[in-house]
Amino acid sequence: VRAPLDPEAVERCLAPFGRSFTLPPEAYTSQAVFDWERRHLFEEAWTCVGRGADLGPGQARGVRSGSQGVLLGRDGRGTLRAFSNVCRHRGHELVETGLTVEARVIRCPYHAWVYGPDGALRAAPSFAGVEGFDRSEYRLSDLPVEQWHGWAFVNVSGTAPALPGYLGEVLDGLLAPYEPERLVAAARHDYVVEANWKLVVENYHECYHCTNLHPELCRVSPHDSGNAFTPDGVWVGGRMDLMPHAETMSLSGASGGVPLRGLTEEGRRRVVYVGTIPNLLVSAHPDYVMTHRLHPEGPGRTRIECEWLFAPESLDRAGFDPSYASEFWDITNRQDWRACESVQRGMANVGARQGPLSPREGDVYKVVSIVARAYRDGILGPPPRLPEPAAGRVGLSTA
Ligand code: FES
Ligand SMILES: [Fe+2]
């Protein structure tokens, strides 16, 4: 199903890098496009719904993917399950979005139907003896759910390829040394950004704006360093170097933790920035991993959950304080959100047009290509390959 956009405008996005254009303004402002995206770019994709560790055994949580309410649960044996968050009786939501409940069983708040952690209907008050009523016909609808390096992903439509194939092998190899699955969240900020979710993703994937927006960042990371990766899955990303004096991304460049144990000497000198489409951005530093999870709430509004994950060894240090990382990125995030919100207003301006991309916006091209190809062909796949050394997040510099 094609997206409700001018096909010629979409085609302009798919021209070869250097001759292509950004998405048309309506892609950021139209409710019809937003509805199309929630269905085809969120519900039909693998959407990140949080960290697996957020949910202990016997807990359940209401989350969302696209327009859909999802009930995420962990049974007593520790297996993560996902169901459509709707009661089989008359359709009440089982757990409110954002709430976590302690639940050996899941009880509908409306008429108290009770479901087991496996989704089976265990009890339906007053139905005893009702002829033809068979509890086994009313189990919750299962949804595919997977954990990957500690993050939980759901595919509401049930039609996406298996998660490892969706993400490809390259990304796994890039993040494995950081062992994200073993890291612990020590700080979190929730933001509401008055901008389309794609503006946040596109902004994340370039540092063309860094000298203009991010004085603090430019003091610890050369804005034109690094290179882009060549994704074999539905993601985009690149890496940047640290300044010689900087141990990590912080206001002073000093780390308040310990380096992640799996990193080589080289790995400790860089930051890896990757984003799975549609909604997880992972920024892997020598001593912490920051994530942004994007939850679109409307064409012009995105809720962002930002988390900072550290090694248990860092948390064990006396007086450990994660703010060296979270404060730095909170400052930087807000600089970015201001720009995204301004672009959102720009997109609503009658004078807005599709614009060209610089050689330093290769990874924006990849994001735009993934989205535009989905708009045109309904296919959610890896971005096009760009020549090596890849033009990317940071430009045409060498590896
Ligand atoms: S709607 Fe859930 S018990 Fe009635
Ligand atoms: Fe930025």
171-221 residue pLDDT tens:
999 999 999 999 999 999 999 999 999 999 999 999 999 999 999 999 999
Q: Which atom of ligand 1 is nearest to the CA of 87?
A: 2
- Output the CA 88–ligand 1 centroid distance in Å: 7
Q: How confident is the model at residue 394 (pLDDT cuts 50, 70, 90)?
A: low
Which residues make Cβ contacts (< 8 Å) with residue 156, sequence separation at least 6? 42, 43, 44, 47, 65, 66, 68, 70, 84, 143
Task: Please calculate the CA angle 151-79-56 and round it to the nearest 5 degrees.
Answer: 70
- Output the CA 327–ligand 2 centroid distance in Å: 15
CB–CB of 156/146 below 8 Å?
Answer: no
- Residues 54, 150: Cα–Cα separation, whole Å: 10
Ordered DSSP codes for 277-345:
TTTEEEEE-SS-EEEEEEEEEETTEEEEEEEEEE-HHHHHSTT--THHHHHHHHHHHHHHHHHHHHHHH
Residue 257, CA distances (Å) to 35, 315, 342 in order: 42, 8, 35
Nearest alpha carbon, ligand 1 atom 3? 111
* Greatest CA separation for the chain: 76
pTM of the model: 0.96
Helix, strand, coil abundance in the chain, percent, nearest 5: 30, 25, 45
Residue 98 is predicted with a pLDDT of 94
On the question of pLDDT at 367 being above 60, the answer is yes
Identify the three-state secondary structure at position 119: coil
Nearest alpha carbon, ligand 1 atom 4? 111
- Residues 211, 213: Cα–Cα separation, whole Å: 6
Give me the half-sphere count of Cα atoms (radius 13 Å) on the Cβ side of residue 164: 2
The pair of three-digit structure tokens given for residue 73, joined into one six-digit string: 């649960």
CB–CB of 290/185 below 8 Å?
Answer: no
- Output the CA 363–ligand 1 centroid distance in Å: 47
What is the per-residue burial (b if ≥16 Cβ within 10 Å, else e) of 344-368?
A: beebeeeebebeebeebbbbbbbbb
Q: Which atom of ligand 1 is nearest to the CA of 113?
A: 3
The pair of three-digit structure tokens given for residue 268, joined into one six-digit string: 């400790």
Nearest alpha carbon, ligand 1 atom 1? 90
The pair of three-digit structure tokens given for residue 68, joined into one six-digit string: 């859909």
Q: What is the pLDDT of residues 141-169, one digit of tens each?
A: 999 999 999 999 999 999 999 999 999 99
Candidates 103, 100, 127; CA nearest to 113 is 127
Residues with CB under 6 A from ligand 1: 87, 89-92, 108, 110-113
Partner residues linked to 145 by β-bridges: 154
Ligand with the closest atom to the CA of 87 = 1
Q: Which residues surround ligand 2, an ion (CB under 5 A)?
A: 336
- Output the CA 109–ligand 1 centroid distance in Å: 7
Give Rg (Cα) of the chain: 22
- Residues 125, 390: Cα–Cα separation, whole Å: 62
Q: How confident is the model at residue 262 (pLDDT cuts 50, 70, 90)?
A: very high
Q: What is the pLDDT of residues 285-319, one digit of tens each?
A: 999 999 999 999 999 999 999 999 999 999 999 99
Strand order in the sheet with 184-193: 184-193, 301-310, 289-298, 280-284, 270-276, 235-241, 227-228
On the question of pLDDT at 398 being above 50, the answer is no
Ligand with the closest atom to the CA of 338 = 2
- Output the CA 389–ligand 2 centroid distance in Å: 22
